[in-house]
Structure 1
Amino acid sequence: MIRVLLAEDQAMVRGAIATLLGLEPDIEVVDQVCDGPSAVSTALELRPDLCLLDIEMPGGSGLDAAGTLHAKLPETRILVFTVFDRPGHLRRALAAGASGFIGKNRPVEELAAAIRQVMAGETVMDPALAATALRAAPNPLTPREREVLAAAIDGSPIPHIATRVHLSEKTVRNYLSSAIQKTDCANRFEAAHTARDNGWL
């Protein structure tokens, strides 16, 4: 029996996936959580065979959780699933230790098959997305630039961004300026959305 921990922030989607996977004869969803930190703490407690992680979750993305889980529970396999087929997300998922990356638009039979493949030691990903990721430019942003851009994406003014990321306003401006140059954008809002659309945030 493959013991799966499911992390997905939308309750209806989470419940549906858990129910459908529960119909598989060799898969058991041992718990369901709604955010990244809970995925990490619950996995450390239950030590599932595989963690199925959504990317966009409150309190920390599935990619952040994947990196932590890979470091703390290297024997637990990680499969990332998302509605966002972005090359940057695929690269980050693999760099974080994930063994697979699958879209939420796939049938549950394909998700179950991907779980079995990952547990068999294979790497699972959509071929078209993998090809796009290979052609795409690598993420040019530093971790700090990504953090500041993520805080700027909602249009917050510089003082609010500085408070949120615990940096001075001058330092925030410097990071934003650098990020704007690297993304070849006209302003911080455009840079933040470009970074998000490429899966760099």
Structure 2
Amino acid sequence: MIRVLLVDDETLLRTALASLLSLSGEIEIVAQAADGLTAVALAETCDPDVIVLDLEMPGIDGIETVRRIIAARPAQAVVMLTRHGRAGVLRMALAAGVRGFLLKSVDPTELERVIIHVHSGKRWIDAEVSAAAMTDDCPLTDRELDTLRLTTEGLSVREISTRLHLASGTIRNYLSSAMQKTGGSSRHAAARVARERGWL
């Protein structure tokens, strides 16, 4: 049996998914979480084979949740579900260590196949998201995207520099470059443009 931890703040969706996946003869739901911090703790205590989690959650989002889990458990298999398969999000998810990336509209039977697939050490990316990523025209570097993403979380330049382990001056340079590339008059405007264009 493949031991699965389900993470989603939408209780109805999470419990319905747990019920459907439990019908499989190959999957056992060992725990559920409604937020990222709980998921990080449960990953340690429940020792799941695969974690299936939502991108958008209260507190820390799915990307940061994955980063923390992978830091403690480098071999952990993770499948991320999202309503918005933006290329920028896919890029960050893969960099964080996600092995499966699917839209929330996925059929439960396909999700089951993906869980089995990533459990065997392989990757699975939704075809629609993959196609969008191949045609992505984002001019921003990964670091510029990181600084804009943290800007949208309301962090100051000093807080961003602490989070990314970079000097404040370096963060300002990344933000300045992002503003030039997006045409934003401020770092917040640049972040808004990046999000509207699907780069974040």
TM-score bin (small chain): 0.7 to 0.9
What is the DSSP-based 3-state SS (H/G/I as helix, E as strand, rest coil) of the residue aligned with 1:29? strand
d(CA) in 2 for partners of 1:7 and 1:182?
Answer: 35
Deviations 1:141-168 (A, max 9, x none): 15334312332xxxxxxxxx6599589x
Deviations 1:9-51 (A, max 9, x none): 1111111111111111110111110111111111011110011
2:45 matches 1:42 = no
d(CA) in 1 for partners of 2:139 and 2:46?
Answer: 35
Name the counterpart of 1:147.
150
Q: CA deviation at 1:135?
A: 2.6
Q: TM-score, normalised by structure 2?
A: 0.82
Question: Contact 2:148–2:190 at 8 Å: present in 1 too?
Answer: no
Name the counterpart of 1:155.
none
Name the counterpart of 2:165.
none
2:192 partner amino acid = H
d(CA) in 2 for partners of 1:139 and 1:120?
Answer: 34
Identity %: 40
Name the counterpart of 1:181.
180
2:153 partner amino acid = A
d(CA) in 1 for partners of 2:139 and 2:97?
Answer: 17
2:149 partner amino acid = R
The verdict on how the C-alpha distance between 1:163 and 1:119 changes in structure 2, with shifts beyond 3 A counting, is closer
What is the DSSP-based 3-state SS (H/G/I as helix, E as strand, rest coil) of the residue aligned with 1:32? strand
Q: Gaps (5+ residues) in structure 1?
A: 152-160
1:102 partner amino acid = L
d(CA) in 1 for partners of 2:122 and 2:160?
Answer: 41
d(CA) in 2 for partners of 1:179 and 1:163?
Answer: 14
The verdict on how the C-alpha distance between 1:13 and 1:108 changes in structure 2, with shifts beyond 3 A counting, is same
Name the counterpart of 1:106.
106
Tell me whether 13-22 or 175-184 shows the greater mean CA deviation: 175-184
Name the counterpart of 1:158.
none
d(CA) in 1 for partners of 2:189 and 2:44?
Answer: 39
Q: CA deviation at 1:128?
A: 2.8
d(CA) in 2 for partners of 1:3 and 1:25?
Answer: 12
Question: Contact 1:66–1:78 at 8 Å: present in 2 too?
Answer: yes
d(CA) in 2 for partners of 1:111 and 1:24?
Answer: 11
Question: Contact 1:87–1:198 at 8 Å: present in 2 too?
Answer: no
Question: Contact 2:140–2:181 at 8 Å: present in 1 too?
Answer: no
Tell me whether 187-196 or 40-49 shows the greater mean CA deviation: 187-196
1:182 partner amino acid = K
Name the counterpart of 1:127.
127
d(CA) in 2 for partners of 1:138 and 1:91?
Answer: 13
d(CA) in 2 for partners of 1:126 and 1:142?
Answer: 22
Question: Contact 1:47–1:76 at 8 Å: present in 2 too?
Answer: no
- Equivalences, count: 190
The verdict on how the C-alpha distance between 1:176 and 1:28 changes in structure 2, with shifts beyond 3 A counting, is same
Measured on the aligned residues, the alpha-carbon RMSD in Å equals 2.7
The verdict on how the C-alpha distance between 1:166 and 1:138 changes in structure 2, with shifts beyond 3 A counting, is closer
Question: Contact 1:148–1:176 at 8 Å: present in 2 too?
Answer: no
Name the counterpart of 1:18.
18
Tell me whether 45-54 or 136-145 shows the greater mean CA deviation: 136-145
